Amino acid sequence: MEKGESYFKKFCYWMDPDAVETLKKSLSTKGINPLIAEKLPCEALKADIGIVAPEVWGKNCQYDAAPWYNSSEFNGKFLVVSNSALSENFEKYHETTISSSDFQPKGYPGKNEISKLALSAKFKSCEPQGWLGFPAETKERLAQAFKNNVGISDTIEEIFESWDAIHANFMEGKIALTDEGKTIPYTIAETNRTGTCCVELFNIIGAEFREKLVKPCLGAKIMKALEADRYYKVESLKGTK
């Protein structure tokens, strides 16, 4: 996509506490005040440069994003998201680059394929403790919110199954594009049926793929962190597939 009004690019880093303090001091000397996320990790996507502390993941994402973060290699690390690449001193912390994409699939898989993906052995073996462990009353409120706010009358179990299948696809790459030897998995539902896109954006899931095509989840849409139902190309520096 050519640079223009809808152009979007972010450089994402996972840093230990000492590196973050060094970064803050460096920014301060330049008169730059980074946004410090307070409620959600995706807040960092809204600023020129944003920082997400470990404790933020559990504030409002206790039962969805936080279990994945807590069980990942990044647990205890700070996420830094910047409009431009940081200096070479921080290059070793660079994890992904996110940019806007014009990709749109011809369609999405049906319920049978969604169910198969959600029950895949690989996904189940990686599913972290606490994932979707919402209290019963919270599930009821969520189901009503989906129905009243975005017009989805599915049961909460069906919505959660979609979330499972999306993450499973980013682990297995079953529904994907192929390009020059690359397998490029993509989000297999619309934004309103997608959850916790942050785990793909920031390489908690799917780091082995050189590229992923990720749609914002409903939370990122509500936060206005990303454009609903647009795909974003996520390039992984660790990717080999």
- Token pair in block for residue 125: 């073996």
Q: Give the residue-averaged pLDDT of 127-132.
A: 98
How many Å apart are CA 175 and CA 212, to the nearest integer? 11
Please give the helix or strand (H or E) that residue 12 lies within, else none. strand 9-15
pLDDT in tens, 60-82: 999 999 999 999 999 999 999 99
pLDDT in tens, 17-35: 999 999 999 999 999 999 9
Q: Look at residue 41 in the predicted model and tell me its pLDDT.
A: 97
How far does Cα 163 stand from its chain's mean position?
Answer: 12
Q: Nearest-CA neighbor of 172 among 183, 181, 161? A: 183
The answer to whether residue 187 scores a pLDDT higher than 90 is yes
The answer to whether residue 2 scores a pLDDT higher than 70 is no
Sorted by sequence, the CB contacts under 8 Å of residue 191 that are 6+ apart come out as: 215, 216, 217, 218, 220, 221, 228, 229
How many Å apart are CA 33 and CA 30, to the nearest integer? 9
Share of the chain above pLDDT 70, in %: 98
Sorted by sequence, the CB contacts under 8 Å of residue 77 that are 6+ apart come out as: 14, 15, 16, 54
Q: Look at residue 45 in the predicted model and tell me its pLDDT.
A: 97
Using only C-alpha atoms, what is the Rg of the chain?
A: 17
The answer to whether residue 4 scores a pLDDT higher than 80 is no
DSSP helix, strand, coil percent of the chain (3-state; round to 5): 40, 20, 45
User: H helices of 33-135, where?
Assistant: 65-70, 111-118, 121-126
Taking CA atoms, 177 is separated from 104, 122, 148, 241, in Å, by 11, 20, 34, 12
